[in-house]
Amino acid sequence: MNPLYIVCILTGIIHFTETAASSLRLAGVRTGQIATSLSFVNATLLVTRTSNMLQAPFLGGLVDHAILTGQPDALINSFRLVILAAFIGNLLGAICTPFFVAVFTKAILRFEKAGSVPRLIAAAFLPKNIRAISRLFRLPTKKSFINLRMRGIPTGFLWTNLVVVSVYAIGVLSSLYAGALVPEFRITASQLSAIVNGIATILLVTLVDPTCAYITDQAVRGKREVSDVRAMVFYIIIGRVVGTLILSQLLFLPAAEYIKSTTLLVKGMFGQ
């Protein structure tokens, strides 16, 4: 298989899984077990980390091949295809959100009996449980979009979430492309993805996550309606879809130029 297709598939899995994890907040509110639901987020994101680990050598190979053939600009279309795969993963995750909420709600309640995540996962693969899970499958309906009001939900953090998701989707890709443009310092460029993703991380931990946690906790304590959390999750997921469809594509090359400029600055410090 073409290595680019492997990268695209793994990227789609990463974003599909991250979108699925977003629905755990709503499942946590419905069960009243927020701490357990957040631990499930970490377990779910193991799929993301594993996919990232498998993806890394293929991405590196694409960059090395472009450098060896003297065609670094060929990476532009390849990486735009990878960003498109991120959008498709988020879109499929958004479509499956009602199913994720139903499955995670059952899983959180069953966790009390299973006692451990590995045991719970093993039980999920029993034939009777596979049939039970398949019966939970559902797609969004008109009812899914009722009562998604924004009243009482800060819009600022939703816009911030859109930016954060968009930046995360292209941080590594932009640094790799910048490295292909400055091949003798490509390791430096690859390490500079942090100057792009670092901004997104700061915004995530200071503006997005605390607001999400605040709204979720208020719903659990009865100070908000559960529909507020449902609306929040909906707009967070929509932000993921729109961000990777539009903003990530727009930011890819400017971010690469930003990293390239910083790489050249570092290069100058070494007298090259």
Place of tokens 């939900």: 153
**145-158 residue pLDDT tens:** 877 888 778 889 99
Nearby residues of 75 by Cβ (< 8 Å), 6 or more positions away: 62, 63, 66, 176, 177, 180
Q: Among positive and negative, which fits the CA dihedral 32, 33, 37, 38? A: positive
217 close to 38: Cβ distance less than 8 angstroms:
no
46 close to 133: Cβ distance less than 8 angstroms:
no
Mean pLDDT across the chain: 90
Domain enclosing residue 217, as ranges: 3-269
Give the pLDDT score at 100. 93
Main-chain dihedrals φ then ψ at residue 141, nearest 5 degrees: -120, 180
Integer angstrom CA distances of residue 229 from 24, 30, 64, 211: 11, 10, 45, 11
Structural domain count of the chain: 1
**101-147 residue pLDDT tens:** 999 999 888 887 777 778 888 888 889 889 999 999 988 888 888 77
Tell the burial category of 220 from Cβ atoms under 10 Å away from its Cβ (0-12, 13-18, 19+): middle
Average pLDDT over residues 176-204: 91
**216-236 residue pLDDT tens:** 999 988 898 888 999 999 999
d(Cα 168, Cα 163) in Å, to the nearest integer? Answer: 9
